[in-house]
Structure 1
Amino acid sequence: MITKNDRLSFLEEMKDVRRIRKPNRAEITSPRELTPGHLERQRSAVEKPLKDANPLTADFVEPLTAHDILSWQRPGIQNGVFRKLRLGQYPIEARLDLHRMTVEEARKEVYQFIEDCVRYGLRSVIILHGKGERNPDGIAQLKSYLAKWLPELLAVMAFHSAQKRHGGTGAVYVMVRKSDKEKQRNRELYGSG
């Protein structure tokens, strides 16, 4: 029970306390003055445009037709491994469909797709590029660019036009290198250095 003396004592102690007039919230207005660090970042962003990390070239490529077969392998790929790839005997772990894409869109998609395959440990994939049979000049444009791009990607170990059941000369099987994590796991499992 609070007595009159307790109340008077409390009021005496609180006599110098003043109410806070500002709301109990943080101020989130942006500063009006630009700091030297802000100015430097702004200047740097204007001077250095973003560099495209995509190494795939978009210059002239050798034109290919609907029935040309794509076939390439890095030195050191075993013949039996390449044969299995060529015959479509590896399970297809992912697919990328380039139909109706521009060359620039396909360039970005192929680069990102192969990067993702390495990141997620996908080794055997397929890219559907089409045959270009509807083109009046008979040139399979995306196929032609793909034949140039795939060897430019260090993660691509080999590729070959697909079997008829997977799209024939309108698609390509791609063998992707193991990720560093996968290589380390194999070393631990099989003890090779």
Structure 2
Amino acid sequence: MTRKRSVSDDERKLFESAYQQATPLAPSLLTRKQPESKSRFTSGGLNGRTAERLKRGEIAPQARLDLHGMTETAAHTTLTAFIRSAWTRGLRLVIVVTGKGARESAPDAPFSMDSRRGILRHLAPRWLSEPDIAGLVADVRPAHRSHGGDGALYVYLRKNR
């Protein structure tokens, strides 16, 4: 068995200087992902027991808002005012009915403007996380089937202190 030759100090310095001056042939394959910004207000305002009771539909909402037939701007304004009013009155659980949205048209329909179904259904959770009312909202979850299912949202409000 032969011994490996050790690297001299001169060879080591030569290698380090060559390494410092080298330019890569291709960009690095590893790209760093920027961490997602975390919201100041996280959901989690529910304890496990309350969350389970909500999931089963055992807790009755204290107020109800129906956004059916409203435009985006009208629905946004109404939702914001409703949440503020409910929080001021000390309510904890409200239900927001958005509807499931109109049935999708045929894929070859000539005038289909938007392929998404249920604009308000998709926008309501985003509106509830906006800074002006996010501090009032503890959690947002889909409603139980008996309270509207996928077409409605439970909004659990923080305590008014």
Report TM bin, short chain.
0.5 to 0.7
What is the match of residue 93 of structure 2? Answer: 124
- TM-score of the two chains, using structure 1 as the length reference: 0.52
Q: Does 1:149 align with 2:130?
A: no
What is the match of residue 141 of structure 2? Answer: 160
Percentage identity across aligned positions? 35
Q: Secondary structure at the match of 1:116?
A: helix
Q: Does 1:114 align with 2:83?
A: yes
Aligned residues: 108
Q: Does 1:179 align with 2:160?
A: yes
CA–CA separation in structure 1 for the residues paired with 2:45 and 2:65:
26
Structure 1 unaligned runs (5+)? 1-72, 181-193
CA–CA separation in structure 1 for the residues paired with 2:86 and 2:61:
12
Q: Secondary structure at the match of 1:126?
A: strand
Q: Secondary structure at the match of 1:113?
A: helix
Indicate the structure (1 or 2) with the bigger Cα radius of gyration: 1
CA–CA separation in structure 2 for the residues paired with 1:141 and 1:135:
12
Question: Which segments of structure 1 move beyond 6 Å, counting only runs of 4 or more?
Answer: none
Structure 2 unaligned runs (5+)? 1-41, 106-114
Change (3 A) 1:99 1:83: same
Specify the code of the residue in structure 2 equivalent to 1:166: H
- TM-score of the two chains, using structure 2 as the length reference: 0.61
- Which stretch has the larger CA shift, 132-141 or 89-98? 132-141
Change (3 A) 1:86 1:176: same
CA–CA separation in structure 2 for the residues paired with 1:135 and 1:109:
26
Displacement of 1:79 in angstroms is 2.1
**Native 8 Å contact 1:118 1:177 kept in 2:** yes
Q: Does 1:74 align with 2:34?
A: no
C-alpha root-mean-square deviation of aligned residues, in Å? 1.7
**Native 8 Å contact 2:140 2:155 kept in 1:** yes
1:16-31 residue pairs with structure 2 within 5 A?
Answer: none
Change (3 A) 1:174 1:127: same
